Amino acid sequence: MTENEQLLARVAAKARNTRPWGWASLPEPVDEATSARAEAALGFSLPPLLAELYLRIGDGGFGPEYGLLPLLDSPPSGEPAAVAQYLANREGGQKDPDWPWPEGVLPISHWGCAMYACVDCRSRQATVLLFEPNPGDVDQAWFIDAPSLTDWLHAWVEGTGWYEEANEGLELAPWTDFPIRTARRPTTPRTTPVRAS
């Protein structure tokens, strides 16, 4: 069994036994056709591990806090699906250039208070980012949650994420690629995000 297979098995076991807020049950996984439609709508491929989560474990409804967003269709909790959220964020960034949304950065989980965990689908390791807009400055709203989706999933399964009570006060590094990816001038970054509610 490969390392990814072992991780997927651990995620699946935890997904079966825990339920994020707003989810009564674990949704069925998506099929290949739904995954292909999602990628066509996005205009880019999902990182392989992210695609496997949706294809093998469930269409959202597992993971930290409010759990993963469904991929293409709206969930029972009323949150927009990941694809719809991404497209709305990109459109919003075009209408309001002060709040651009980077191409290829897919929101995958809502933390509450307008905060999202996002996967950088353009990075080779599928870096997981935290979008935390509450201070009101887009240049200080992006942090590296985990260097890879693999690391992010390990943190959830093992209970070691920044969002765990035991890790209160843990500082996340700013995502320094934000100005490059959105053609903005860099500003002095903030280092500590506001805790999710």
- Residue 100: what are its φ and ψ, rounded to 5°? -70, 150
Question: Residue 143 pairs with which residues in a beta bridge?
Answer: 130, 174
- The pLDDT value recorded for residue 36 is 97
- Sequence-distant (≥ 6) Cβ neighbours of residue 154 within 8 angstroms: 7, 160
Burial class (CB in 10 A: 0-12, 13-18, 19+), 122: middle
Tell me the β-bridge partners of 107: 118
**Would you state the pLDDT for residue 63?**
94
Taking the model in full, what pTM does it have? 0.90
pLDDT at 183: 82
Task: Give the per-residue pLDDT at 188.
Answer: 54
> Residue 180: which H helix or E strand, with range?
helix 178-182
Burial 25-63 (b: 16+ CB within 10 A, else e): ebbebbeeebbeebbeebeeebbebbbbbbbebbbbbbb
* Dihedral pair phi/psi, residue 141, rounded to 5°: -105, 0
* pLDDT tens per residue across all 197 residues of the chain: 799 899 999 999 999 999 888 888 899 999 999 999 999 999 999 999 999 999 999 999 999 988 999 999 866 657 789 999 999 999 999 999 889 999 999 999 999 889 999 999 999 999 999 999 998 889 899 999 999 999 999 999 999 998 888 887 788 999 999 998 998 655 555 555 555 44
Q: What is the DSSP letter of 194?
A: P
CA 72, distance to chain mean position in Å, is: 14
d(CA 189, CA 139): 7
Nearest to 149 by CA among 18, 21, 7: 7
In whole angstroms, what is the distance from residue 91 CA to residue 147 CA? 27
Helix (H, G, I), strand (E, B) or coil at 129: strand
Backbone φ and ψ for 47, nearest 5 degrees, come out as -60, 145
Q: Are 158 and 178 in contact (CB under 8 A)?
A: no
